[in-house]
Amino acid sequence: MMWLRRIMLGLLFAQLGLAFLAVLGLMQRRISVRWAGGCLLLVSAGISASGQLLWQRPDRSIELAGDQAFFQAVSDLPADALLFGSGWWQNPVVALVSGRRMRNEEAWTAHGFEQQAEPGYWVFDRYAMALDEHVRNRFAWRCDCEPIYAGRGGEIFRIHRFFDSPEDSLTEMQRIDASSPGLAEGFAPEPQGGLRWSAAESFVKLDAAMPVAQLLINYRLPAPPVSVGDSVPSLALRVSATSCESQPVPLSAGNASAHIELNCASPVDRIQLRLVDPSANADASADTFWMVREVQIFPPQGEAR
* Predicted pLDDT of residue 223: 61
Kindly tell me if the per-residue pLDDT of 22 is higher than 70. Answer: no
**Per-residue pLDDT at 228:** 45
* Model confidence band, residue 58 (pLDDT cutoffs 50, 70, 90): very low
How much is the pTM?
Answer: 0.77
246 pLDDT band, cuts 50/70/90, is very high
- Residues 146 and 300: their CA atoms lie apart, in Å, by 9
Whether the per-residue pLDDT at 59 is higher than 60: the answer is no
Which tens digits make up the pLDDT trace of 134-178?
888 899 999 999 999 999 889 999 999 999 999 999 999 999 999
Select the more confidently predicted residue: 250 or 263.
Answer: 250
What share of the chain in percent tops pLDDT 70?
79
Of 19-28, 54-63, 213-222, 229-238, minimum mean pLDDT range: 54-63
Backbone angles phi, psi at 135, to 5 degrees: -70, -40
Confidence at residue 180, expressed as pLDDT on a 0 to 100 scale = 93
**According to the model, what pLDDT value does residue 131 have?**
67
Mean pLDDT on 86-111: 89
Is the pLDDT at 105 greater than 70, yes or no? Answer: yes
Confidence of residue 129 (pLDDT cuts 50, 70, 90): confident
